[in-house]
Amino acid sequence: MFSRFLCGRSSATGKAYTSDVRGFVAWAERAGVVGPAEVDRMLIRRYMAYLSTRRYARATVSRKAAALKSYFGWLHSSERISGDPSVRLMVQGGSSRLPRVLEHGELAAILDGSVVDMRAVPAPGPVADRQEALRLRDDTVLEVLYGCGLRVGELCSLDIGDVDLESRSLRVHGKGGRERVLPMHDRCASALRAWLADGRQVISTGASPPGALLLNTLGRRLGPRDVRRILDRRSPVVTHPHALRHSFATHLLDGGADLRVVQELLGHASLATTQVYTHVSKERLLAVYGATHPRAHADPGGTASFGGTASFGHRASFGHRENGDHPQ
């Protein structure tokens, strides 16, 4: 029942919340609690204190707290319990650590590379054809991740019908059931066109999902672990697929894109999420400030001044991360 209540959230969030609630139930049963009606605020506080001793990451504890609020809120709204014991439970934001923005040279190596691990290639099919097909797939995965700023889960869930090569657009099903249509640049569209025309049918098998856009080496729908392996093979530095999305947004802002536009492209419900997710370079902040603030144009002596050496710290940061926007 609770899992059906979570159907509007991403599959990863639904699985995590369900697992978190089961963990709480198991802990409560060991404490002698036989049902949700016996749970009170003090019991939940004891559980949160218990979690703090288990060396969980701050973001993990915050997610578990959010899962309990969602669970008991659902029980109360559906009249399964008379009161919500989690109503005053505070859900603190997780760590604000962000993936490192990839340098342009690193991105060039990732996007223009052609390394294929042939140990992952099954025997059926001519080796040369399969190697080329995997290269086309890897090119597509990486171009779409960086070119459209997708979450890994969004990339893996793409179907062939979500691609419109004529208009160079991509329909993406994001978090909370929100759908957005994204533009594609030439290289991204070309990579998709080559994969669909010359690569997909080589890897596809009779058991392959007919609508799945991207397939792994076994012909199944591409998964997050497959994406990680692709990036590991191509990247000259240790990184994570989410860094491509972060780099996409940061490079747009550094190039002068409006924050609201970046919010729409990323599929964020709140602008605050975009603000902390995409830090703007110090040089960009100084340039915008100097060009737009009426008191920053000139000092009393007639020369431009920022009041000495301006400093925003090592990273510009705004607001807090919106709960639930984690790497997939």
* Domain locations in the chain as residue ranges: 2-77, 104-244
Report how many helices (DSSP H) and strands (DSSP E) the chain contains, helices first.
14, 3
pTM: 0.64
pLDDT value, residue 290? 75
Closest CA to 152 of 214, 194, 234: 214
Angle between helices 127-148 and 241-254 (to 10 degrees): 40
- Mean pLDDT, each 10-residue run in order, the chain (328 residues): 76 87 94 93 92 85 91 92 90 63 90 59 58 94 96 95 96 88 95 95 94 96 95 91 91 87 90 68 62 66 38 33 45
CA dihedral over 121, 127, 130, 136, signed as positive or negative: positive
Q: Which residues, in sequence order, are bridge partners of residue 240?
A: none
* Domain at 104-244: CATH code: 1.10.443.10
Q: What is the pLDDT of residue 176?
A: 75
- Angle between the N-to-C axes of helices 241-254 and 224-234, in degrees from 0 to 180, rounded to the nearest 10: 70
Question: pLDDT at position 230, please?
Answer: 95
Residue 42: its pLDDT value, please?
93
pLDDT at 126: 54
Distance CA 228, CA 240 (A): 7
* pLDDT (0 to 100) of residue 286: 67
What's residue 283's pLDDT? 56
**Active-site positions?**
151, 175, 242, 245, 268, 277
2-77: CATH, from 1.10.3470, 1.20.950, 1.25.40, 1.10.150:
1.10.150
Sheet containing 163-164, strands listed edge to edge, beginning at the edge strand earlier in sequence:
163-164, 169-173, 179-183
User: What is the model's pLDDT at position 67?
Assistant: 92
